[in-house]
Structure 1
Amino acid sequence: MIVKERIQEGMNQIIAALKMDQSQRGSWDYAFETGVATDCYMIILLRTLEINEEKLIQGLAKRIISKQEKNGSWKLFHDENNGNITATVEAYYALLYSGYLPKSDSRLRAARQFILAKGGMEESHLFTKVLLSVTGQQNWPSFFPLPLEILLLPPSFPVNFYSFSEFGRANMAPIMILADRKFQVKSTKSPNLTDLSAYRNPEFFSRNEQDEWRGLASAISEGISHLIGIPGQLHRMATEKAKQYMLDRIEPDGTLFGYFSATFMMIFALLALGYPKNHPVIMKAVKGLMDMECTIDGLPHMQYTTAAVWNTSLISYALQEAGVSPLDFAVKKGNEYLLSRQHYKYGDWVIHNPSGFPGGWGFADMNTVHPDVDDTTASLRSIARMVQSDSSFRQSWDRGVLWVLSMQNDDGGWPAFERNTDSKLLKLLPIDKAEFILADPSSADLTGRTLEFLGAYTNLPKNSEAIRSGVNWLFKNQESNGSWYGRWGICYIYGTWCAVTGLREAGVPSENPSISKASNWLKAIQNGDGGWGESCRSDIKGSYVPLQTSTLTHTAWAVDALIASFDQPTKEIDGGILFMLENLDRDDWTTDYPKGQGMAGNFYIHYHSYRYIFPLLALSHYQKKYIHD
């Protein structure tokens, strides 16, 4: 067993760092870092709109250049094999459009060579193909799988606009407008990217993909054919509905749902609908994106969204788990901030949850219309200790708990944003990663974390229908090796941590075969230095891939899961604790390595807060369970 003083010293070090980083309003605003894609899109947007923010554009260009690999490519994560075609196309385009690098620059020549060797810019991701088409770098395809009229189909139809997840709708609504109008816009500074094309093929989707789609397409067309109205009139109605969908969901900061990609596409969709470049809605949207700028290593980075609520809820909870009083200034300010961000109005989630009542929390600072289950349980954990002594917390608590319970899927698991949006028909769409872009299924991480919250912080009986259904969902969805796939983290270590801690708090004994199998898997993948590490390639491959080195966050997840499983510390647990204590100050690529994802193979997240949050939780849980005065 590790001595109490050493554990406390490590915890105190993290607590001091966290308190130092808290903002004046009470939130923790650690960066939500997502590679260079948003930096690239921002340059392209500003240049297209002819907004000459030269200091920002030059700074973003410097950051993009600083991330280039020796072979000319850009990567999404450290151990991605030779580079990423999509990221390299976006970086090349943005750097050329910035005006700060000529085509003759050796770095751009190397990037161009990499792109052509990988099949040309046509091999990039769907969003990038839309970017290239809307800015006039390639033609719109003759085929696009989603007609605007799908917005007119009722929710009772097998495939309709609300079959898609909230994230899918936010991005697809503007893209559908753009594809429908085949809209293109250039500026006086638009570069020529024809030399990035390995072959002249403007189609987004292969013939095989289109053929697979035909059956579902005909079903949608059949549904549309039964709509009452003149075809041209129906099309105008669908266009208006798509426009209004966007406008009705603009956040107070001007962004669409607070997402960079959705806001970017919305700006171009509004241009396609006839809005001038300087229209107030467009200008406010641009400002909203610019306000998401943060600074990393002295250079600007455009965040995809902000993570203020997520960071604050997790940090405030972790501080309290580590023994910091809920009346401590930092915790109190954090919880006051959280109360100010609870939702009191209905969002799209009500379509599939008509009996639910508002009360959730969202992820970002400026988020008023799309709460999610994970942020809600995280915020509820943070305010839990204040519920008995402060009536304002009690009201928030009751609303939040009821909303979480109302969001359980029919299969027993929990989604992120909306109930029962996992139609198997969506898998027929010829859209790369459609299951991540358009669906919001039950996941092991959401289900496990919700069960952990309900079991540890509410009086809901362990044999209640909600808990039993969630437990059964986890049992059914455990991998054969004992792990669980984590939808929003990297990846199997994350999912296993969520599932194990959830099952234990839901009353599943440690000797249960499911827990034992998970514990044995975690022990088997421990590294020689006592830590754990997992590659983002797990997400792409669909099975566990070791990182070949340890990280603080992966180690904390694994250790915390094992602490939940064993009454006495094991050598694996002590090894993980020692690794964390010896590496709290570690500052290398493993610290920066993504620990979250939003779209396997295309979108990875480095949460700057995780290096503090999860080691603090694991250390505090070790101390609480194993060290007694």
Structure 2
Amino acid sequence: MFNKVNDGIGQLIDSIRKDQSSNGAWTYPFETGISTDCYMIILLRSLEINDEKLIQQLVERILSRQEDNGAWKLFYDEGEGNISATVEAYYSLLYSGYIKKQDPKMKRAKSFIIKNGGLKDIHMLTKLLLALTGQHRWPPYNPLPVELILLPHSCPIHFYRFSVFGRANLTPIMILADKKYSLTTKMSPDLSDLSSKRNEDELDFRNSQEWRSFYSTIKQAINQLIGLPSHLHQLAIEKAKHYMLQRIEPDGTFLGYFSTTFLMIFALLSLGHSKNHPIIINAVNGLKGMKTVIDGHVHMQYTTADVWNTSLLGYALQEAGVPSNDSMIKKANHYLLQRQHLKYGDWAVQNPAGVPGGWGFADMNTIQPDVDDTTASLRSMARMVKKVPVYRQSWDRGLQWLLTMQNDNGGWPAFEKNTDSKLFSLLPIEKAEYILTDPSSADLTGRTLEYLGNYTNLLNNYSSVQSAIQWLYRNQEDDGSWYGRWGICYIYGTWAAVTGLRAVGVLTTHSSIKRAVTWLETIQNSDGGWGESCNSDRNQKYVPLKTSTLTHTAWAVDALISANDKSNNSIKKGIDFLLINLNQADWTTTYPKGQGMAGDFYIHYHSYRYIFPLLALAHYKKKYKQKS
């Protein structure tokens, strides 16, 4: 068995070594379906940037993802298709000018859209896209008054109580809704035939009465606090514009995200910027810079994942025995060292005691660090800390920033602390819990505990550690699993929680660990692997994929290894599955393992097929070889 494990580890290391970039990073794609491809076509046509080669390449990719019934899906087992994704694809293909309504593929797509309610039940952000480009009416009221940005921090609802991702997307939306901005061109298609009641359709944020009530509440608060003289409306517009411009990354994008940059461009147009304004051109070029190629097709990434890929791979390789002085590891850690954040960002508003020292997710991320990338980067650099002084300095800053980011409830968020107001969960905005809040999560809390337990000298009775342990105990599901906020989904959260709890001394005999182990063993497939459907996050309960994947299996096996002093049948069968399927190349390999918005935004990390099987095999060998 261990000879095969060694062979598998060697195979993975060789593949990873070949894929490293010259700057030390790994640039595996961050793949998110077709939405960004669709939006890029619509953006280029709206700005009358005739980059025909890119538009044709994106058209080819979108068409390559169409199902036989005419629809597009977000993941393999999503039923017949996704209505919002299909509308976006249909619209962008028509806007490209290269596909006509009479094309059989378009007829099938239209048939699917009409069959599923036309434009009535598409996602809020898809309706926003249509309103921006003349296919949908704006509502007569603003979904959020732009004056919200002026409310002081003493108010129960203020701008910085939203998550940073929520603020970044809402800021341009507030401007656009205020202006009721719409842009059409001579190439704009006509989507009126997709709805029989187009004249009655509005950009309805789930429930207009509830929105009007919330809008009225915010307006009253603004009136009471600042009197709302007429000039303050323009002040709010200027402050919103300033917020965006102050957070433009070196590549021209707004915080490095596709959606925020797309919306910022339209917001600036609504404020009078010309289509060829340097800020807009730089933003478009920044989006183009996130272009990648997958299976011969060009894909517009939502962001890049270079820091995330590199930190996880650097850590996994060293766990598998690659020494820290290997050129591959040295280059990776040097890259990470250069990407540490040394200036304050929005996180400091809710965390004034913190000093910069975290890491962000993307290559060009200089403003927005996050907890997960910070612990991952610190793990990769851990073996360098005692050897090179500059790594010790970096380590200390990262650890101190991390500790100050813990939420008051004991868990860790992703980007900002204490931005999980229950008020926002009541708002009638679609997926508000994903867009507007940044709660403590089992995956972030578990991974942070794993780092603190295995890589620092903090005692297990340290207050931060104990409060995090208690948070995990309180948030374990009845079946013994944990929900993972940023992965798919319960297997991911359970892996993070179990490995974290074990790292800080929670015994294998503890009821929380035993329940988690029982759950994992119960859901193991007959082939020895594990697999979980993206439907889990939609349904808020575990839904099996009914087939096994490399990544889910690696997570489950790694959790079981951490929770068992001796190998058992479940672990051995899981390891066998990994070894047999290391070269697996089917739909299970490309099935999303990450998510950003349940039901609407899923991520296929191309690096995961290497990272997590390597970790599981390495930990199996390290723990059990001497006991065999």
Q: What range is the shorter-chain TM-score in? A: over 0.9
**Mean CA deviation greater in 325-334 or 198-207:** 198-207
Tell me the distance in 2 between the aligned counterparts of 1:486 and 1:608: 19
Unaligned runs of 5+ in 1: none
Q: 93-102 vs 225-234, which deviates more?
A: 225-234
**Aligned residue in 1 for 2:470:** 472
RMSD, aligned CA: 1.1
SS in 2 for 1:381: helix
CA contact (8 A) 2:142 2:215 kept: no
In 1, the alpha carbon distance for the partners of 2:513 and 2:211 equals 41
Structure 2 letter corresponding to 1:243: K
The one-letter code sitting in structure 2 at the alignment partner of 1:38 is T
- 1:541 aligns to what? 539
Q: What is the CA-CA distance between 1:230 and the residue it aligns to?
A: 5.0
Counterpart for residue 205 of structure 1: 204
Tell me which of 617, 620, 626 is aligned to 1:619: 617
**Residue by residue, what CA displacement relative to the aligned partner does 1:581-623 show, whole Å, maximum 9, x if unpaired?**
0000000000000000000000000000000000000000000
Residue pair 2:205, 2:211 contacting (<8 A) in 1 also: no
Q: What SS does the aligned partner of 1:121 have?
A: coil
| 1:280 partnered with 2:278 | yes
Partner residue in 1 for 2:244 = 246
- Cα distance, 1:365 vs structure 2: 0.2
When structure 1 is superposed on structure 2, of 117-126 and 360-369 the one drifting more is 117-126
Percent identical among aligned pairs is 64
Contact kept, 8 Å, 1:145 with 1:429, in 2: the verdict is no
CA distance in 2 between partners of 1:550 and 1:394 (Å):
41
Structure 1 segment 64-75 matched on structure 2, within 5 A: 64-75=62-73
Q: Which residue of 2 aligns with 1:516?
A: 514
Deviations 1:234-272 (A, max 9, x none): 110100000000000000000000000000000000000
Give the deviation of 1:517 after TM superposition.
Answer: 0.1
Normalised TM-score (structure 2): 0.98
TM-score by length of 1: 0.98
Q: Unaligned 5+ residue runs, structure 2?
A: none
Q: What's the CA shift for 1:123?
A: 1.6
Matching residue of 2:90: 92
Shift of 1:214: 5.1
Letter paired with 2:15: A
Does 1:118 pair with 2:96? no
State how 1:337-376 maps to structure 2 within 5 Å. 337-376=335-374
> Residue deviations 1:387-433, cap 9 Å, x none?
00100000000000000000000000000000000111112221111
Q: Could you say if the C-alpha distance between residues 269 and 213 of structure 1 is closer, same or farther in structure 2, counting changes exceeding 3 Å?
A: closer
Q: Which residue of 1 aligns with 2:553?
A: 555
> In structure 1, which of residues 415, 418, 428 is the aligned counterpart of residue 416 of structure 2?
418
SS of the equivalent of 2:603 reads: strand
Letter in 1 for 2:562: A
2:104 aligned with 1:131:
no
Partner of 2:598 in structure 1? 600
Amino acid at match of 2:93: L
Partners of 2:212 and 2:277 in 1: CA distance = 39
Contact residue 213 and residue 428 of structure 1 kept, 8 A: no
Helix, strand or coil at the partner of 2:548: strand
Q: Which residue of 2 aligns with 1:588?
A: 586
Q: Distance in 2 between matches of 1:510 and 1:229?
A: 60
- Between the aligned partners of 2:228 and 2:405, the Cα distance in structure 1 is 39
Aligned AA for 1:571? Answer: N
CA distance in 2, matches of 1:469, 1:550: 35
Structure 1 residues 272 and 206, CA gap change in structure 2 (3 angstroms) = closer
Task: Give the 3-state SS of the residue equivalent to 1:550 in structure 2.
Answer: strand
- Report the Cα distance in structure 1 between the residues aligned to 2:249 and 2:225, rounded to whole angstroms: 32
> Are 1:216 and 1:425, in contact at CA under 8 Å, matched by a contact in 2?
no
Separation in structure 2 between the aligned mates of residue 395 and residue 556 of structure 1, nearest angstrom: 33
Q: Which residue of 1 aligns with 2:570?
A: 572
Report whether the alignment pairs 1:527 with 2:499: no
| Residues 413, 470 of structure 1: 8 Å contact kept | yes
Instruction: Give the drift of 1:197.
Output: 1.7
Letter in 2 for 1:189: M
C-alpha distance in 1 between matches for 2:210 and 2:244: 30
**Which residue of 52, 59, 64 corresponds with 2:50?**
52
**Paired residues, what number?**
626
State whether residues 119 and 198 of structure 1, in contact with CA within 8 Å, keep that contact through their aligned partners in structure 2: no
Whether 1:442 and 2:446 are equivalent positions in the alignment is: no
Q: Is the 8 A contact 1:212 1:428 kept in 2?
A: no
One-letter identity of the residue aligned with 2:62: I
Q: Is the Cα–Cα contact under 8 Å of residues 136 and 203 in structure 2 kept in the other structure?
A: no
Asked if the contact 2:13–2:317 (Cα under 8 Å) also holds between the matched residues in 1, the reply is yes
The Cα shift of 1:215 comes to: 5.0
Judge conservation of contact 2:360–2:374 (CA < 8 Å) in 1.
yes
Contact preservation (8 Å) 1:145, 1:430: no
CA-CA distance at 1:484 after TM superposition: 0.3
Asked if structure 2 preserves the Cα contact closer than 8 Å seen for 1:143 and 1:203, the reply is: no
